[in-house]
Structures are given as structure tokens and as C-alpha cells.
A = this chain, B = another copy of it.
Amino acid sequence: MKSNPRSRAQRRRDTEHRLAHDIDIWVASASADGAPYLVPLSFDWDGEALLVSTPAGSPTGRNLAATRAVRLALGHTRDVSMIEGRVEVLEIDALPQERGDRFAARAGFDPRALATPYRWFHIFPRRIQAWREVDELPDRELMRDGRWLA
């Protein structure tokens, strides 16, 4: 079943809907010397940045702290929203309590309550693309340099 390619505006609405409602996101990171990593994590979105939390000593935690670069995927392989972002690292006690409570409610776990040392990672989108299949490869760029194009 094929539909017409979506407009950029529609893809932005679809992407923002996912940011507001999905629970998990694919998180791709890399070590400073080029070893890729990929893992699904739960996230929250406040309209400006994604918030994730993972152990400071995990591959993702170490990579994000070292490079501050991440590439994320929402959705599934034939209906994706790809997000490249700039990462800010926060110690686990450095986030306002209500923000942490909101994350815990959405994610279903509270990284502040665990024995393993976790950190928060704020991810600010700089580039966003969205496409379903080949017919949507044109106009897949929705955000560039942190600014929405539609």
C-alpha cells in the first residue's frame, strides 16, 4: 500500500507527536575513536530537548559524555524520524525534582533511585529528518542547524 509523500509540515506534526507520546528511542553514539554503539532508551520531551538517563559507566553514558554527539531514531524502519543532537550532561542530582518525576512517570523507572550511578543527558535536536519509503526521500530534512524548515 502506497500513499502520497507527506508534506514537510505533516512530517513535522508526525515527528512532534512521537516526541510527545513515544516512550522509547534508539540512541546511537560513538566512542572518541570510532566504535559505534546503539541501544534503546526511554525518553521524555519538553518541547525543546529530549531527556534520557543511563549509567555513567555504560557505553552510551561514556560516549555521550566524551563526544556530546548523538543520532536518534524514532519509529520503525519504514517510518522513521531521525534526530541529530547536541548533548548536555547532568549529574543525577542536578535536575529539578519535578522534571525527574515527569521522566520517571513516562519512562517507568526512576534513575535517581538506583544503586548504579546514573546521569541525565539532555539532547537538543540540531537536525531532524523523516521518511517512510523511497518516495519520501525528497524533502526528508525537517530541521537544520536547530531550526525547523516547515
Q: Which positions 79-111 of chain A face chain B at CB distance < 8 Å?
A: 80, 82, 109
Whether, in the assembled complex, A38 has its beta carbon less than 8 Å from a beta carbon of chain B, the answer is yes
List the B side residues contacting A29 at CB < 8 Å: 36
Q: How many positions in chain A have a CB within 8 Å of any CB in the partner chain?
A: 31
Q: Which of A13-21, A45-53, A63-71 contacts B (4 or more CB under 8 A)?
A: A63-71
Q: Are A34 and B25 in contact (CB under 8 A)?
A: no
Measured CA separation A33–B25 after assembly (Å): 24
Q: 3 shortest A-B CB distances, which residue pairs?
A: A30-B30, A24-B77, A40-B77
Residues of A within 8 A of B (CB): 24-26, 28-40, 63, 66-67, 69-73, 76-78, 80, 82, 109, 134
